[in-house]
Amino acid sequence: MVNSPIPLTAIQQRLAENVATGMVDEQTVRRLWWAALETLQLDILLPMDVQEGVWLAAPLPALYEPRLLTCLQGWVWAPDALESLHSHQASLLPPSSIRSRQEASREKAGRYQRLPLRPSDGQDPLLIIITPEVQVALALQGQPGERHLLMRSDPESLSDILRMLDLRLNQEDPEQAQELRQALASLGPLQGNDQLEHRFWPRIAERLASMAPSLTLQQLPEKSLNAEQKEESKEEPTEELSLLEALTHEVRTPLATIRTLIRSLLRRSDLPHVVVNRLEQIDTECTEQIDRFGLIFHAAELQRHPPETSTLARTDLGSMLKILRPALSQQLERRGVQLHLDISPGLPPVLSDPGRLESMLGGLIDRSSRNLSSGGLLTLKLRPAGQRLKLQILSKGSSGLDQGGPETSNNAELGTVLSWNPNTGSLQLSRAATKRILASLGGRLTQRRDSGITVFFPIAEGNR
């Protein structure tokens, strides 16, 4: 009888040995994961000018920095649903190992071998990188509400998980197992690096601190999703949502790399003014698209795992809108649209998530301005409304006529997460997905063609 392959969850459990139980939710641990990927690749591996090594990942190719992909040899356990991506002309993912052994052996550096992900492997991400300079394993693990980011670089742990992966790979594909053994042998013995952890965790803390301000957390007493929204969340097949998450991941990662390179160039003092302007425009465009696809990724996550409640924070929405005004105005001015803020003075704070709300507001502005031609006007009104604050987004065309909300009768719904406007060619969140995200941020969306978008946010306790 052939033994079942070792599940990847066993690898994560080995990494979690002698580590305290996690204490964070899914959204927070995902932020930790992205901060860890950026820290490891941009702050540790690239400055070391790594020239050789191997990487293993699941369930998506977590390594995205091009200079690392060209010199490191990779193996990725990925869902079968990702196979359909290879038919796209743009080749969002490198070719899989479905090709012949002869073709695979001639494959250039920077490609990776794709291996089958099994149901017992779970969906938690895993990344292992072994180079002569850096040897580290990253993973997410834990039950809901007890999630944590794992990072191990000690030789004993790494030796154990590499042995487990060798056993699994030897059952799945003995030739690939032998290739991995040879690649690891050429890198020399595993060795500890005490300085790695001293650099890794403080840098992650710095990245997280830059994502959002410190928060005073408060539990929202109402359920963030009503019964109708939860029923909607069951409509989309899990496989399609996994594919959507993979697509957004594959779009965001190269954009993040481009933005990092742009910002490194902008630190130079010898660039001509016209070059600086162009680089800043590219940076802005990358940021907008990263945020846009980040919202799509978050919408797909909410569709698959709708939360029962949301832990939100006191948020000064009026001040946030004023701070965002220059960036939002710049975003609209590229289309010839003006922005007007109309905010009542002395408004109390609301309950929301400042980090996610900022990107969601940008998404609502983009959504509301898509149908406006040059000379149009977008107005944001913030007013008290009983125990809530009312945010209205109103659009007016260049003729002075109200153009109402962003929805048009010929919008095509692509499942419950995305919709497509054939007139503008724009892909955006569906109305149902927009409502779900706003609900997770404490907001209640209402939308009528003659009154644009209106979102009600609950006033924080102590200000009612």
Give pLDDT tens digits for 43-75: 899 888 888 999 999 988 788 777 888 889 999
User: Strand 452-458's sheet: what is its strand order?
Assistant: 338-343, 377-385, 388-396, 452-458, 444-448
| The pLDDT value given to residue 220 | 43
Strand partners, 459: 350
The residue extents of the domains of the chain are 8-211, 217-458
3 CB burial (10 A radius; 0-12, 13-18, 19+): exposed
- 358: closest CA among 313, 304, 302, 306? 313
Beta-carbon neighbour count of residue 373 at 10 Å? 12
Question: Is 150:137 a contact under the CB 8 Å cutoff?
Answer: yes
φ/ψ region of 296 (left if φ > 0, alpha if ψ in -120 to 50, else beta) reads alpha
- Say which residue, 3 or 344, is predicted with more confidence: 344
Q: What span, in angstroms and rounded, lies between the C-alpha atoms of 233 and 79?
A: 21
Mean pLDDT of 366-385: 87
Q: What angle do CA 200, 293, 417 make, to 5 degrees?
A: 125
Task: Please state, in angstroms and as integers, the Cα–Cα distance from residue 233 to each residue in 142, 220, 228, 257, 364, following that order.
Answer: 24, 21, 9, 32, 21
30, two tokens: 């995902």
| The pLDDT value given to residue 92 | 28
Q: What angle do CA 63, 69, 73 make, to 5 degrees?
A: 95
Beta-carbon neighbour count of residue 62 at 10 Å? 25
| The pLDDT value given to residue 224 | 41
Half-sphere exposure of 371 (CA within 13 A, CB side): 25
Half-sphere exposure of 70 (CA within 13 A, CB side): 5
Mean pLDDT of 285-298: 83
Question: Is 53:110 a contact under the CB 8 Å cutoff?
Answer: no
**Which band of pLDDT confidence, cut at 50, 70 and 90, is reported for residue 108?**
very low
| The pLDDT value given to residue 134 | 92
Mean pLDDT of 372-399: 87
- Say which residue, 278 or 93, is predicted with more confidence: 278
**At 283, is the secondary structure helix, strand, or coil?**
helix
Q: What angle do CA 184, 188, 191 make, to 5 degrees?
A: 105
Q: What span, in angstroms and rounded, lies between the C-alpha atoms of 442 and 391?
A: 13
| The pLDDT value given to residue 401 | 52
| Tokens 């997280």 belong to residue | 208
459, two tokens: 């006033």
pLDDT higher than 80, residue 86: no
Mean pLDDT of 141-168: 92
370, two tokens: 């898509």
pLDDT higher than 50, residue 98: no
**At 197, is the secondary structure helix, strand, or coil?**
helix
Question: Is 292:363 a contact under the CB 8 Å cutoff?
Answer: yes
Q: Minimum mean pLDDT among 16-25, 198-207, 234-243, 280-289: which range?
A: 234-243
pLDDT higher than 70, residue 367: yes
**Dihedral sign of CA atoms 327, 328, 333, 335 in order:** positive
Task: Please state, in angstroms and as integers, the Cα–Cα distance from residue 156 to each residue in 6, 160, 182, 274, following that order.
Answer: 19, 6, 20, 53
| The pLDDT value given to residue 2 | 52
| Tokens 């832990």 belong to residue | 311
| The pLDDT value given to residue 101 | 30
**Which band of pLDDT confidence, cut at 50, 70 and 90, is reported for residue 347?**
very high
List of residues 6+ apart from 300 with CB closer than 8 A = 241, 244, 245, 248, 417
| The pLDDT value given to residue 212 | 41
Q: What span, in angstroms and rounded, lies between the C-alpha atoms of 404 and 406?
A: 7
Question: Is 332:409 a contact under the CB 8 Å cutoff?
Answer: no
CATH number, span 217-458: 3.30.565.10
- pTM equals 0.51
Winning range, highest mean pLDDT, from 147-161, 263-277, 401-415, 418-432: 147-161
